[in-house]
Structure 1
Amino acid sequence: MEVILRKWKLDTGSSVPPYEQVRLRILDLAASGALAVGAQLPPVRSLATSLGVAANTVARSYRELEQAGIVATAGRSGTAIASGGDVIGAQAAEAAESYAAVVRDLGIPGHKALAIVRAALERGAAR
């Protein structure tokens, strides 16, 4: 939620409806990569409370983003940034999910798992 709210507030004096402002903010963050493929969005009620709007306002934003393929909602698992046509990003997110499952099964702590990835990326860059 911090990413969405960082240096941004709803413009109550704007002619753009609040749901559209929220939708555009999330769309901009997804397009810029600030919200990567697979990034979880805050629950509707939580974001609505932080923004001072009705839950239906945020829910409408999420619904429209889902219809556009920008986010995907998986029931109790919440809403996350979808590929939105970013095939490479979707493949990377899928590989990351697989890696995360393996390191969890092995009992490797998150900081160590990230260090392993960093080292692998640095070895690849050195070639």
Structure 2
Amino acid sequence: ITYRLVKEYNLMINILRAEVVANKAGELIMDIEGSEQDIAEAIDFTAHEGIEFRILKSGITLDEERCVHCGACTSVCPSGALTLRRDDWSLVFAPEKCFACELCVKSCPVRAIVAVMHLNGTVLAG
């Protein structure tokens, strides 16, 4: 199935976790990149094949009250989603750039950054 998603729907897939047992239900957690149309068509394909597909999105939230603007998170952020404003050295978070690597969560000394997961729009952790 994964091969067909890549080949036929032009998706880039990173398998994050796989649990497959012969003749039993399994679970595959993937990070998928592609156009909205290709992803929608791939979801339709998996449903037609009898595969349950759930959308799981992850990201981070920044507690502005707790943040001390030390910049520790900016030094580990590979996407540039976390930067320091030069005029007042305050932290700026651009969520559209974040790809949820969670390196910033581990680097924050005051735990102002928290990882969150959403499943079909419902918050699972945070």
Indicate the TM-score class for this superposition, using the shorter chain for normalisation.
under 0.3
Task: Return the TM-score normalized by structure 1.
Answer: 0.25
More helix by percentage: 1
Task: Return the TM-score normalized by structure 2.
Answer: 0.25
More strand by percentage: 2
Larger Rg: 2
